[in-house]
Amino acid sequence: MSRIGKMPIPLSNQAKIEISESSVRVSGPKGALEQQLTDQVIVTQDGGIVTVQRIDESKKAKAQHGLYRQLISNMIDGVTKGFTRKLEISGVGYRAELKNDLLALTLGYSHMIYFKAPDEIKIEVPDQTTILISGIDKALVGQIAAKIRSFRKPEPYRGKGIKYEGEVIRRKEGKAAGK
């Protein structure tokens, strides 16, 4: 049995869950999320505990068991606490600023890069080298962070670019170091 799938999901007293045969809807103080279900799993609620069970022992049902358990758990965490990703910018002249609802990035190109985030995502720039991305949908927050990082990935020689907080960049020696 799936180690992740068999774990019960504790339901916060702030979150409210509505389960139908084809979808799960979770609402809380930060908003509401809905997830369509596959026909391979069954979601049940017993008091403050939500459980996910598979319908049979087929390979497809086993694969989806832990996935849907974690998706529902992330939905509950998102509507109660929310998710945040922090990006750090390093490099001479590299900076970020917020102009109205657009993120303006200066990353060493001949032009500025403007990025408009979806309405569900909130972007903050506390200083010129830090970007905070927050929202209730974990997958969307990660996708937006990856998109912003892709504008200038960190390079291995000087470490310039946009990286996640705590990301370790493996540095390489330049060709002059070998002499």
pLDDT tens for residues 30-53? 999 999 999 999 999 998 899 999
CATH 3.90.930.12 describes domain 9-80 = yes
Give every CB contact of residue 113 below 8 A, 6+ residues apart in sequence. Answer: 104, 105, 106, 107, 151
Q: Domain 83-164 is of which CATH architecture?
A: Alpha-Beta Complex (3.90)
What is the average pLDDT across 15-40? 93
Are both 9-80 and 83-164 of the same fold?
yes
- pLDDT of 28 > 90? The answer is yes
What confidence tens digit (pLDDT) does each residue in 110-153 have?
Answer: 999 999 999 999 999 999 999 999 999 999 999 999 999 999 99
Q: What pLDDT score was predicted for residue 83?
A: 97
Tell me how far apart the alpha carbons of residues 104 and 96 are, in angstroms, rounded to a whole number.
Answer: 6
Closest CA relative to residue 2, chosen from 71, 63, 73, 74: 63
- Per-domain boundaries in the chain: 9-80, 83-164
Other Cβ atoms less than 10 A from the Cβ of 176: the count is: 6
Q: What pLDDT score was predicted for residue 25?
A: 95
Q: Say if strands 113-116 and 102-106 run parallel, antiparallel, or are unpaired.
A: antiparallel
